[in-house]
Amino acid sequence: MVEGRRHTLRDIAATLDLSVNTVSRALSGKDGIGARTRALVRAEAERVGYVPNTLARSLVLGSAMTFGLVITNPSNPFYAQLISGIELRARAHGYSLLLAVTDESEEIEARAAESLLRSSVSGAIVVPVQGKVDPWRRLGGVGVPTVLINRDLPDLGYPFVGTDNALGAYQATAHAIARGARSIVVLEEDLPITTIEDRIAGFRRAMAEADLPVPRGSVISVPTRRYEEAALPWQPEQAYRVARRLLRRPALPDAVVVGNDYFALGLYRALHEHGLKVPGDMMVIGFGDYPFSEFLSPSLTTVRLPAQEVGSTAVDLLLEQIESPDAEPRKQLIAPTLVTRESTGPAIPRSRIPLT
């Protein structure tokens, strides 16, 4: 097919005895060129296996037809799906993806932002570590459209897509209540992000609407860790430990709403070890609907997050922002769906008298 050096417009121009310019126009489909010439050029380009040099093109155009994608951790199934969704939609519009993994580190995040800047990306899609806004303000400041995913940085006023975490947690909690739970506990990661605040708010709202108390100790933090172990079952493990402590309490909750489905796994194990049955002794509601959750026993009731949709929406918002930079940045919350499975019913938790 091809070997050796890459051919350039100039090569083609030389062999065809045309100007570089003509060849460029012929190939780029612009008009103002003879049909014959165009065919000729196309044929020659085909023959030598011409591959345009994006670098050169981008340099003159000032932008690289590339999106930066900054993600905290691909081993989180939500982000894995997100990557797929974004990649698909971006590629459909002709953009490549420059990927950076921050692992919740502000330092890595800052470097990633800088790197995107150097690379003249056409835009950035970011799951911010959420702590520093500077790196992203800077990026936006020099005119790189940026959309935030999952965790908003309201100060920036950038476009944003996320799932409605408050709603998700509300649904989860309300469902547990409807199934007879009166005392409910929440397990969340200990990250200082709006995601988690929102969920806790949703939980509280559901409890309040049902006139149920939320005593101290109803919201439990699960410590998390950094990248090196991200690959490992660190999250279930940590949740397991926290759950074991929880199960030593004198009064156990009827239901536990957890921050992600990995936590549900850890909780399952702790409950199993204590000989407690799900949902009979305790209901469990997950968050995320990871690929395995449907297949656990008992299968896990969980809040399904539309990761693909979040991803493709992010790309759409970015394209909007690129096409009309002065348009009002849109913020979009995508509603999650509660998926009801065995872990919340139909059994009635023991603290309630059977109703039927």
Partner DNA sequence: GTGAAAGCGCTAACAG
Partner DNA sequence: CTGTTAGCGCTTTCAC
User: From CA 293, how far away is CA 262, in angstroms rounded?
Assistant: 9
User: From CA 124, how far away is CA 133, in angstroms rounded?
Assistant: 14
Compose the 220-259 pattern: x for residues touching DNA by CB under 7 A, - for all others. ----------------------------------------
Among 18, 27, 69, 317, binds a copy of itself (CB under 8 A): 69
**Which tokens hold the place of 54?**
């994006």
Residue 171 contacts residue 303 (beta carbons within 8 Å): yes
User: From CA 88, how far away is CA 95, in angstroms rounded?
Assistant: 10
27 binds, among a copy of itself, DNA, none (CB under 5 to 8 A by kind): DNA
User: From CA 49, how far away is CA 183, in angstroms rounded?
Assistant: 68
For residues 66 and 165, which CB has a smaller minimum distance to a copy of itself in the complex?
66
For residues 19 and 154, which CB has a smaller minimum distance to DNA in the complex?
19
Among 16, 40, 110, 117, binds a copy of itself (CB under 8 A): 117
Among 128, 159, 202, 236, binds a copy of itself (CB under 8 A): 236
Residues 9-38 that bind a copy of itself (CB under 8 A): none
Compose the 124-143 pattern: x for residues touching a copy of itself by CB under 8 A, - for all others. ----------x--xx--xxx
Tell me, what amino acid is at 187? L
Say whether residue 137 binds DNA (CB under 7 A).
Answer: no
- E-strand ranges in 105-205 read 123-126, 146-149, 160-163, 184-189
Among 2, 6, 91, 157, binds DNA (CB under 7 A): 6
Backbone angles phi and psi of 295, in degrees to 5: -105, 5
Residue 123 contacts residue 94 (beta carbons within 8 Å): no
Least Å distance, CB 14 to DNA, is 11
Residue 69 contacts residue 86 (beta carbons within 8 Å): yes
Which residues 6+ apart lie within 8 Å of 26 measured at CB? 33, 37, 38, 40, 41, 42
Say whether residue 33 binds DNA (CB under 7 A).
Answer: yes
Say whether residue 24 binds DNA (CB under 7 A).
Answer: yes
Say whether residue 18 binds DNA (CB under 7 A).
Answer: yes
Among 24, 26, 45, 77, binds a copy of itself (CB under 8 A): 77
Which DSSP symbol is given to 351?
T
Say whether residue 272 binds a copy of itself (CB under 8 A).
Answer: yes
Note the Cα 273 to chain centre separation in Å. 33
333 binds, among a copy of itself, DNA, none (CB under 5 to 8 A by kind): none
User: From CA 275, how far away is CA 141, in angstroms rounded?
Assistant: 57
Say whether residue 189 binds a copy of itself (CB under 8 A).
Answer: no
For residues 24 and 130, which CB has a smaller minimum distance to DNA in the complex?
24
Which residues make up the interface to DNA (CB under 7 A)?
6, 8-10, 17-22, 24-25, 27-28, 30, 32-34, 36-38, 52-53, 56-57, 59-62
